[in-house]
Amino acid sequence: MKIISKSSEETIKIGRDIASYLKKGDIVAFTGELGSGKTTLIKGIVKALTDREATSPSFVLINEYPGQLPVFHFDLYRLSCKIEVDTIGWEEYIDKGIILIEWAERIIKVLPIEKTIFIHLAIQNGKRIITIKGLKINRRKKNDKQRKGIARAKSQDS
């Protein structure tokens, strides 16, 4: 599936839409050039799933966003060799929530294909071209219920 985004705001909205199809245990592998919109798309996913603002974990490698459906956001940009990839422990997060991996090409060979959704971003003529493979679109109703549960829990906290 290919989606074209004309702005950062539109990319965030697309991320929110993608989030509605994700489930616990999913791994989303993001690839694309620097500045292609990986973090922007992730901001929409994180906001939709946890109602938190996502930031790039470039210097810390991982940001954790707690919630009814927790999100673990890895940024592998600074990793330079296979040994570093092997030592970050990303596998410990499988099935604990949703894993989002920027610069996933650095670990693409070890990702479990049956759990991984691949999203490639590219800039073409000033627009983002978002190519998605492996996203199962029949999950939306279940995830809408999860998000309503998050909204109820937040309103009860207030």
CA 41 to CA 60: how far, in whole Å?
19
For residue 9, give the amino acid letter: E
Q: Tell me, what's the pLDDT at 149?
A: 45
pLDDT 10s digits, 15-30? 999 999 999 999 999 9
The H-assigned helical ranges of the chain are 8-19, 38-50, 82-87, 140-157
CA 95 to CA 89: how far, in whole Å?
14
CA 51 to CA 149: how far, in whole Å?
12
Backbone angles phi, psi at 38, to 5 degrees: -60, -50
Percent of the chain exceeding pLDDT 90 equals 53
Beta bridge partners of residue 132, listed in sequence order:
119
Q: What is the pTM of this model?
A: 0.82
Percent of the chain exceeding pLDDT 70 equals 78
Residue 60 has pLDDT above 50, yes or no: yes
CA 72 to CA 93: how far, in whole Å?
7
pLDDT 10s digits, 115-155? 999 999 999 999 999 999 999 876 554 555 544 544 444 44
**If one looks up domain 2-151 in CATH, what number appears?**
3.40.50.300
Token duo for residue 43? 């901001």
Segments making up each domain of the chain, as ranges: 2-151
Over residues 41-50, mean pLDDT: 96
Residue 43 has pLDDT above 90, yes or no: yes
Q: Tell me, what's the pLDDT at 157?
A: 44
pLDDT 10s digits, 96-108? 999 999 988 888 8
* Residue 80 banded pLDDT, cuts 50, 70, 90: low
